[in-house]
Amino acid sequence: MAEFSTSVVNKGDVSIIYLKGYLDAHTAPALEDNFMKLIDENKFKIIANFSELEYISSAGLGVFMAYIEKIRDNKGDIKLTNMSEKVFNIFDLLGFPLLYEIFKTEEEALEKFNESKSVGNE
Amino acid sequence: METNNKYKSELQVKSKTENLSLIRDFVSSKAEAAKFSREEIENIMLAVDEACTNIIKHAYKSNPDGKINIKIEYNSDKFVITIEDYGRSFDPEKVPVPDLPRYHCEKKVGGLGIYLMKTLMDDVKYISVPGKYNRVILSKNFSVSQN
């Protein structure tokens, strides 16, 4: 059976979800649980780090679509980082780069969250 | 495909999402044997995953006892995957081609699978005989360099 796992690390007020393995219709509920838990805890600044994700199908992409509105309504965002070319191509085919910020590294995404925080404080 | 078949193989599984990885492994090993590139193998695998996910969710409404038959045949021209189920039939023509930006605004998730299948494969055909079977036929042509 294909393996999928996640782990969540908090850096300041940003939560980073590390995705590992195969994200399909069978494993998508595990990622949904992560988002639901973060939303419950009022954590709306989220980075999804794809560095160890081997595979994604539309069921996996659907998870990001399901929660983005609620998260943005609460002044948060889901930023995507460290995608392999293969995984990026699937996101690209479905028009995701228009709607999600995709960064090469986690640090760039963290910086972007921190920038918008300092703008907000001015 | 009736003549000049070099290869034929079949897999039958129950309509459970946990079988998706088994299905992908089956398709991937046959596509590899047919000497597709790694990228093409990934594309074929994803298209079959999308087709089977739709069958599990829509034809069988997530009932895990349905049957899914996957048949792979190839000759020197093309690689053909025929996927059959015995659940509710549906008309793929009624699933609109997604207008992607609007799609995201409306938070629709369904329909992306069919769009991916059509984008990743050279041909996608549906044949549905209500009460008997639904069949989706996914084809990938071999590029000249592979022959």
Segment A15-26 mean pLDDT: 98
pLDDT tens digits for B109-129?
567 899 999 999 999 999 999
Examine the pLDDT at A57 and tell me if it is beyond 50: yes
Q: What is the pLDDT of residue B1?
A: 45
Provide the β-strand partners of residue B81: B72, B138
Domains of chain A: 4-121 (3.30.750.24)
DSSP conformation letters of chain B: --SS--EEEEEEEES-GGGHHHHHHHHHHHHHHTT--HHHHHHHHHHHHHHHHHIIIIISTT-TT-EEEEEEEE-SSEEEEEEEE-S----GGGSPPP-HHHHHHTT--TTHHHHHHHHHSSEEEEEEETTTEEEEEEEEEPPGGG-
Q: Assess if residue B1 is contained within a domain.
A: no
Q: How confident is the model at residue A55 (pLDDT cuts 50, 70, 90)?
A: very high
**What average pLDDT does the segment A27-56 reach?**
98
* Interface residue A84 vs chain B (CB under 8 A): no
Chain A interface includes B58 (CB < 8 A): no
Q: Which residue of A has its CA nearest to B111?
A: A58
What is the SS3 assignment for A28?
helix
Domain range for B26 is: 7-146
Class of residue B2 by CB neighbours under 10 A (exposed 0-12, middle 13-18, buried 19+): exposed
The answer to whether B104 contacts A99, with C-beta atoms less than 8 Å apart, is: yes
Q: How many domains does the structure of chain B reveal?
A: 1
B11 domain-assigned: yes
Residue B46 to residue A22, Cβ atoms within 8 A: no
pLDDT at A46 over 80: yes
What per-residue confidence (pLDDT) applies to A122? 44
Q: Which residue has the higher pLDDT, A122 or B99?
A: B99
* Average pLDDT over chain B, rounded to an integer: 88
Token pair listed for B17: 């999402």
Is residue B129 domain-resident? yes
CATH for B68: 3.30.565.10
Cβ proximity of A41 and A74 under 8 Å: no
What confidence score (pLDDT) does residue B103 get?
58
Q: Across residues B80-90, what is the average pLDDT? A: 94
* A·B CB contacts under 8 A: 69
More confident residue, A115 or B138: B138
Verify whether the Cβ–Cβ distance A24 to B20 is below 8 Å: yes
